Amino acid sequence: MVSEIRSWRRGCSVASADLETLWPEVEADLARFEDHRKIVRVEVSRQLRYHEVGLLYRELDHSNFDCFPSLPQFRKLPTLRTFYGSGLDVEKSGWRNELTDILVKNDVQEWATKTIQAFSERLGYPKWPSTDTLVRPVDWISTRFTCTRCSKSGPKATRNKSLTFREAAHHLCLVSEKGNQDQWSPTNFVADVKVCPPRFKCDLAHSY
């Protein structure tokens, strides 16, 4: 329809009555074109937000935290989930500032605290005292975990290695099903009994 209008501009003579007849179809074409532009703008903004969060993830010093999430888990932090759903134009909004960086760091710290607690429970120490004089069970040299999801991944199971706590917190599953790789949870992990001794032995070895 748009091409027909262009042909009229090149010298075709069209009566007013013809234009009135064609105008509803022209309006429909223009509306569809505008809808498509909106969809493209939303998708471009989504991709830019996705890229910006990836940059922030790489910029943060992971060593400043007790443990650090994988990138898929990082994207799920409360501040970043709000950012993803905001519809902001990343190129114009200037979303990165001192306040948002502080909020994201606080989210990571809260995530780390909950993760330490969850993994301590997996080891059988749900109420380990929070003091500077006792090494946390998750930080013991003998503490290792294996991922139960990776153990069920068929031929890839041989790649399921023994993980330290920080490695387990940062772990990405080997599961190949599309969309399932980032379904990380502390409940996916169990103590590696080949490395980590039974609880009573751990208690004796680390009661200092």
Reported as a pLDDT band with limits 50, 70 and 90, residue 77 is: very high
Given this model, what pLDDT does residue 205 score?
44
Examine the domain organization and report whether 74 and 172 are in the same domain: yes
Q: Same domain for 110 and 175?
A: yes
Q: Is pLDDT of 169 > 90?
A: yes
Calculate mean pLDDT across residues 20-26. 72
Q: 173, 199 in Cβ contact below 8 A?
A: no
Range scoring the smallest mean pLDDT among 34-43, 50-59, 159-168, 192-201: 192-201
pLDDT at 101: 85
Q: Are residues 165 and 143 in contact, defined by beta-carbon separation less than 8 angstroms?
A: yes
Question: Does residue 80 sit in the same domain as residue 9?
Answer: no
105 shares its domain with 73 = yes
d(CA 52, CA 65): 21
Check: pTM over 0.85? Answer yes or no.
no
- pLDDT of 74 higher than 50: yes
Look up the domain containing 194 and give its range.
62-205
Judgement on whether residues 124 and 165 belong to the same structural domain of the protein: yes
Angle value at C-alpha 189, between 73 and 163, nearest 5 degrees: 85
Whether the per-residue pLDDT at 178 is higher than 70: the answer is no
Are residues 33 and 25 in contact, defined by beta-carbon separation less than 8 angstroms?
A: no
Joined together, the tokens standing for residue 19 give 């234009």
- Which one of 28-37, 46-55, 56-65 scores highest in mean pLDDT? 56-65
Nearest-angstrom CA–CA distance, 176 and 140:
31
Does residue 81 sit in the same domain as residue 166? Answer: yes
Are 48 and 96 within one domain? no
**What are 189's strand-pairing partners?**
147
Q: Please tell me the total count of domains within the chain.
A: 2
Among candidate residues 13, 35, 59, the one where a domain is terminated:
59
Q: Are 16 and 73 part of one and the same domain?
A: no
- The answer to whether residues 96 and 194 belong to one domain is yes
Q: In terms of domains, do 100 and 147 share one? A: yes
* In contact, 197 and 141? CB cutoff 8 Å: no
Q: Are residues 99 and 50 in the same domain?
A: no
* Model confidence at 190: pLDDT above 50: yes
Using CA atoms, how far apart are residues 149 and 188, in angstroms rounded to an integer? 6
- Domain final position from 41, 59, 77: 59
Instruction: Determine the Cα–Cα distance for residues 60 and 83; give it in Å rounded to an integer.
Output: 17
Name the band, by pLDDT with cuts 50, 70 and 90, for residue 114: very high
DSSP state of 163: B
User: Model confidence at 116, in pLDDT bands (50, 70, 90)?
Assistant: very high
Residues 90 and 31 in one domain: no
> If you average pLDDT over residues 154-167, what whole number do you get?
72
